[in-house]
Amino acid sequence: MRAHEEAVRARHLVVRNVYALRSLGKVFLRDPTPPSTFFEYVASGYALAFWGAAAAVFLTLAAVYLLPQGPPALYFRYVLGVVFVLYMPGHALITALYPKAEDLNGVENLALSIGLSLAVVPLIGLMLSYTPWGARLESTILSLSLFTIALSLAATSRRMTFVKLESHSNHMPMQREGGEGLRSHSTA
């Protein structure tokens, strides 16, 4: 039992050190078997952002249609509704436009998500007012849900292209400042 605990501690130490080296840019990690199709990508751990967005949309739909109208469920519906209307459509658009996580920091992402939601949601409502369904609760929720899921799928597709590019690339950083870093593989 003691040998097993020491092996587990050693494994955690190695993982922590490799992660620290990766954070410093001294080690480049690449998935040896990345997903090759879109469906494999969506089913893998790479697409957690898509599944989070889909879960938020479905949780909001469930809260609107299944929870009772009175308190305390009403407050939960308010919170989910605010996030659904003021954050999710803009965030889906931002992730489709900037699929890499390092493109925007957290504050920029939040500000642009709210700003774009404030721009997109009225446009969707305006378009709905000219349809036979009008800008009613059901049509608005359905259109915002479809908009968010569609753009989340687009962002997932764009992120998959980066994973494919990284996996097919044999490029490794040659040298960093001060002569430190990794050297590329020798093909000779």
Residues 111-168: tens digit of each pLDDT: 999 999 999 999 999 999 999 988 898 999 999 999 999 999 999 999 998 887 777 6
Give the mean model confidence (pLDDT) for residues 39-68: 91
Top-confidence residue, 169 or 100: 100
The rounded mean pLDDT for the chain is: 85
DSSP states of 155-169 as a string?
HHHHHHHHHHHHHH-
* One-letter amino acid for residue 45 of the chain: G
pLDDT at 35 over 70: yes
User: Where on the phi/psi map is residue 46: left (φ > 0), alpha (ψ -120 to 50), or beta?
Assistant: alpha
DSSP assigned state of 188: -
Question: What percent of the chain has pLDDT above 70?
Answer: 88
**137 CB burial (10 A radius; 0-12, 13-18, 19+):** exposed
pLDDT at 20 over 80: yes
pLDDT at 176 over 50: no
Top-confidence residue, 21 or 169: 21
- 11 is written with which tokens? 């494994």
* One-letter amino acid for residue 123 of the chain: L
DSSP assigned state of 114: H
Query: What is the rounded distance in angstroms from the CA atom of residue 58 to the CA atom of residue 42?
Result: 17
Residue 84: closest CA among 156, 149, 159:
149
Is the CB of residue 112 less than 8 Å from the CB of residue 90? yes
Residues 85-112: tens digit of each pLDDT: 999 999 999 999 998 878 889 899 999 9
Is the CB of residue 185 less than 8 Å from the CB of residue 169? no
DSSP assigned state of 132: T
Would you state the pLDDT for residue 169? 67
Top-confidence residue, 107 or 170: 107
Query: What is the rounded distance in angstroms from the CA atom of residue 28 to the CA atom of residue 74?
Result: 48
Give the mean model confidence (pLDDT) for residues 167-176: 54
* One-letter amino acid for residue 107 of the chain: V
- 28 is written with which tokens? 């480049």
